[in-house]
Chain A
Amino acid sequence: MGDSAIPLLEIQELNKSFGGLQAVKGASLALREGNLVGLIGPNGAGKTTVFNLISGIYRPTEGSIQFCGEEITGLKSHQVAARGIARTFQNIRLFKELTVLENVRIAHHPYAGYSLLDSVVRTRKFRWGEKRLAEEARELLATFGLQDRAGEVARNLPYGEQRKLEIARALAMQPRLLLLDEPAAGMNPQEIESLMQLIELVKERFHLTILLIEHQMRVVMGICQSILVMDFGEIIARGSPHEIQRDPRVIEAYLGRQAGQHAAAN
C-alpha cells in the first residue's frame, strides 16, 4: 500500500512566530503512510498552529514541509488541499446555513466532471455530473450514519453529528492525509466510543493516514499507533502510547514540575 520508504508527510525544523510570540519552535516529524498518529499537549502548545502550517493557512517563519516527497511549504490552503490533505477545525467550520448534503457535495467538487459551460447550457454531462455528486455524497453520509439528515440545515444538527459531518465533508475530498483537530471535543462517552470506531473504520476503508489532535486521552491511547507531545511550541516527546504515559517530561508538561520529578524518580 504505497511506497513506505518515503514518508507521506515530512516536516523539518518548522518555526512560526507571530510578532514576538513563537508559537512553534523547531518542529520536525515524519509520518508514514497508513499511520494513525496523535498530537497532544497542554492548551496553547502550538498543536493547531502546526495543523495550520501544514494546511497552508499560515506560512512558516522557517522550516519546510513535504508531502509525498513534494515541497509544499508556503503553498496556499486550496493548493495544499488539492494535493490530498484534508482537515477539520477545532471550532467546527461547517457551512452552517447549507444542508448536510450540500456541505459534503461541495467538498466533492473536483470530481464533478462537468465544465462551467456545461452548467450554463445544462448539458447531459451536467445532469449526469450532478446526479453523481449527489449519489456519492449520500454514500459518504451513509458511512457516517447521517444519510437521514441529508436535507437538514447544518446548524440544526446536534453537536456530535456536526463534528461527524465535518469529518465526512473532509473525506469527500478523497484525501490521503487527514488532519483531525479535536474531533471528540464536547462529546459524551458513548459518542466518543462510536467516534473511535468510526475513525478506525474510515481509516481502513479509505486508506487514510491520520494525524489527530486530541485532549481526550481515551481516544489518543485507544486508537493512536504513536504519539507526539508538544509543549510551548516544541515537540518534547514521541513514542508509543505506553512510552508516552511514562515519560517524565510529558507528565511535567501536563501536571507540573513536581509530578514530573516524581515520575522520573520512579
Chain B
Amino acid sequence: MQFLTRKNGIYTIATLLTYALLQGLNSAGLLSNYVLFIVMVGLTNAILTVSLNVITGFTGQFSLGHAGFMAIGAYVSAMFSKLIFDIGPATPFAMREPTFLASLLAGALAAALAAYLIGIPTLRLKGDYLAIATLGFNQVVIVLFNNLDFVGGPRGFTAIPKLTNFTWVTLLTVGSVLVMRNFVWSIYGSQCVAIREDEVAAESLGVNTARYKNLAFTLASFFAGLAGGLLAHLLQLAHPSQFTFLKSIDILLMLVVGGMASIPGSIIAAIALTILPEVLRFSQDLRLVIYPVILIIFVLYNPLPRIKHITDQVWRRARTALADGNGR
C-alpha cells in the first residue's frame, strides 16, 4: 500500500509537526485551551466542508441540509456514549477510548443510513428543488430532536462526556479527508464528476447516476455525522439550534470560499472562517458586520484562486530548483 508520494509525504510531515507543536505548547501551558478548542472546531468544520464538497463540488448536487446529518451524528453518538455505554469520569482508559470510537461510528452510520434513505427519493430532484428538499429535511430533523424528550428536547442533550481531544480530532480529520480524497480521485469519484458535468452524457456511458449520487451523498453524510459526534463530545452539548439550516449555509459558505472541488481549499477555508470570527472578537458587535463584508469581498474579488496560483508558482519553482539540485 504505497501512498507516500513526495507531495503526500510533505503534507503528512507538515500535519504531524503542526499537531506536535500545538499539542506540545498546550501541554506546556503556553497555548491556551481555548485556542486548541478553536482549532478543534475548525477541524470539524473542515470535515464538514470537505464532505459537502463531495456532494456539491464533485457530484454537483446542491444540498442545503448537511447540518441535519451532523445533528443525527451528534445525537446518536451521544445516545451511545451516555445512555448505552454510560461512559463517565470513572471509566478506565482502556474502556473509554474504544467505546468513544464506537459511539462516533454509531452516529456516523446513523447519519449515513438517513442519507441513504432520504437520498433515494430526493436525489431525483434537480438544482434548487433539491436544495429546498434537503433544507426541508434539515428542518424536519431539528423539529424531531426538539420534540424527543429522552434526548433533552428543547433543552438539548446535555452532560455529554467530554471525550473529544486534540489527538482524536486530528486523527479523525486526517483519516476522513484521506478517505474522501481517495474516493474522489478514483474511477468512482470520476463517475460522480461526470454526473456533475453532464448527467445525460454520463448515463449514456453506463454511469448509474442515481446510484452514484446516492453513494456520494451517503459517504459525505457519514462524515458529517462523524463531525457532529466529535463536536457533541467536545461541547458536551447537542442542541437543535446548533444544526439549523443556518449551519448548513455556513458550511456552504466555507465550501464556496475555499473553491468548489478543491479539497485543500475546503480545509483552509473551514479553518480560516472558524478562526476569523474569533480574531475579530476584539471588535465585539462590529465583527458580525465585518465578517460578512470580508466574505463578500472574498467572493467578489476572488483572491483565493489568485493565492493558489501564486503558491503553485512558488511550488513549481521550488521543485524545479530541487530537481536541478539533484542533478536530474
Contacts and interface: CB of A to CB of B under 8 A. Distances in A.
Are A and B associated in one complex?
yes
Interface of A: 55-57, 76-78, 81-82, 86-87, 89, 93-98, 102, 105-107, 109-110, 112, 114, 116, 119-124, 126-127, 129-130, 133, 169-170, 173
A87 B204 contact: yes
Interface stretch (B94-102, B189-197, B317-325): B189-197
A203 to B, nearest CB: 20
Contact of B203 (A76, A119, A121): A76
Interface in B114-167: none
Contacts of A89: 200-201, 204
Residue among A81, A124, A169 facing the most chain B CB atoms (10 A cut-off) = A81
Contacts of A106: 187, 190-191, 193-194, 202, 205, 207
A170 B198 CA distance: 14
A123 B205 contact: no
Given A116-B183, A119-B182, A122-B182, A105 B197 contact: no
B198 A78 contact: no
Contact of A123 (B1, B202, B203, B204): B1
A129 B187 contact: yes
B204 A120 contact: no
7 contacts: A77-B204, A86-B204, A96-B198, A106-B187, A109-B187, A119-B182, A121-B1
A109 B195 CA distance: 13
A70 B3 CA distance: 45
Contact of B206 (A78, A93, A97): A78
Given A109-B187, A120-B182, A95 B194 contact: yes
B187 A95 contact: no
A95 B189 CA distance: 14
Interface residues of B, number: 26
Contacts of A97: 197
Given A109-B187, A109-B207, A124 B197 contact: no
A105 B206 contact: no
Given A78-B206, A127-B2, A120 B183 contact: yes
A81 to B, nearest CB: 4
Contact of A102 (B186, B188, B190, B203): B190
A133 B208 CA distance: 19
B193 A98 contact: yes
B206 A109 contact: yes
B197 A77 contact: no
Nearest to B184: A119
B227 to A, nearest CB: 18
A94 B194 CA distance: 10
A121 B175 CA distance: 11
A119 B186 contact: yes
Contacts of A124: 1-2
A76 B188 CA distance: 20
Nearest to B207: A78
B209 interface: yes
Given A98-B197, A106-B194, A173 B1 contact: no
B276 interface: no
A76 B187 CA distance: 21
Contacts of B205: 78, 81, 86, 106-107, 109, 169-170, 173
A82 B206 contact: yes
Contacts, number: 99
Nearest to B215: A116
B206 A55 contact: no
A120 B186 CA distance: 9
Contacts of B179: 120
A106 B195 CA distance: 11
A173 B186 CA distance: 18
Closest 4 CB pairs of A and B: A119-B186, A77-B203, A81-B206, A93-B201
Given A81-B203, A107-B205, A133 B197 contact: no
B206 A119 contact: no
B214 to A, nearest CB: 13
Contacts of A123: 1
B1 A95 contact: no
A173 B207 CA distance: 11
B41 to A, nearest CB: 26
Nearest to A55: B204
Contacts of B197: 95-98
Nearest to A127: B2
Given A98-B193, A109-B187, A123-B1, A93 B198 contact: yes
B187 A78 contact: no
Given A105-B190, A106-B190, A122 B3 contact: yes
Residue among A89, A119, A124 facing the most chain B CB atoms (10 A cut-off) = A119
Contacts of B201: 89, 93-95
Given A77-B203, A78-B209, A109-B190, 13 more contacts: A77-B200, A78-B206, A81-B203, A87-B204, A89-B200, A96-B198, A106-B190, A106-B194, A106-B205, A106-B207, A107-B206, A114-B186, A122-B182
A116 B203 contact: no
Given A122-B1, A123-B1, A116 B206 contact: no
A228 to B, nearest CB: 22
B102 to A, nearest CB: 21
Given A106-B194, A119-B187, A173 B206 contact: yes
Contacts of A130: 186-187
A259 B327 CA distance: 77
